[in-house]
Amino acid sequence: MTTHRTDELITHNTSSFGSDYLQNRIVREFALAKHIGVVVESADDDAVVLRAPLAANANYKGTAFGGSLYSVAVLTGWAWVTRYLAARGLAADAVIQESSVRFLAPVEGELRASTEAPPEVQIEKFRKMLQRAGRGRIRLRVEINYGETVAALFEGVFAAAIRR
């Protein structure tokens, strides 16, 4: 594994922290994820995409249960933060601190949640807080799409703390 030092944070070859890395972490750390069938579709520096089958997440109407949509959205944000921390060699834990979700349209098939890396200025602020105080917060937006339709919008603040 290739490592680089940048401003006191060590950055590893980020390709080592892709889909397989996150899939193993999610299944190991969140029992719910296994039960609802969460799969990491892709994960890189730009975005993280998770999906889950409708069958394990359907409500009585045959559409995706709101709690499942929320869970997949939280896991998508958690995955982005966790990957960011791991790729920089930071032994830290991430948790959801606050969130809101808007359900805009029913999901009648596979649940697919995605988040893009936030603006660089936001990432830099998060990095500096971690470096200076050993903890930081970052706001992420996750979209859940059904086909071309944005079915739900999730916004959450994730907190991370360096393990001591």
Q: 159, 94 in Cβ contact below 8 A?
A: yes
- Give helix then strand counts, H and E, for the chain: 4, 8
- Average pLDDT, stretch 144-157? 97
Question: What pTM value is reported for the model?
Answer: 0.90
Q: 89, 3 in Cβ contact below 8 A?
A: yes
Judging by DSSP bridges, how do beta strands 92-103 and 111-116 pair with one another?
unpaired
User: In this predicted structure, what is the pLDDT of residue 82?
Assistant: 95
pLDDT for residue 139 is more than 90:
yes
CATH, residue 35: 3.10.129.10
- Average pLDDT, stretch 59-86? 97
Percent of the chain with pLDDT over 70: 91
User: In this predicted structure, what is the pLDDT of residue 18?
Assistant: 84
Task: Look at the chain and report how many structural domains it folds into.
Answer: 1
Q: What's the gap between Cα 47 and its chain centre? A: 9
State in Å, rounded, how far the first CA of the chain is from the last one: 24
- Average pLDDT, stretch 22-37? 94
DSSP letter, residue 75: H
For 111, the domain range is 3-162
Confidence of residue 14 (pLDDT cuts 50, 70, 90): low
- Average pLDDT, stretch 133-153? 97
The residues, ordered by sequence, that sit 6+ positions from 122 with a Cβ below 8 Å of its Cβ are 138, 139
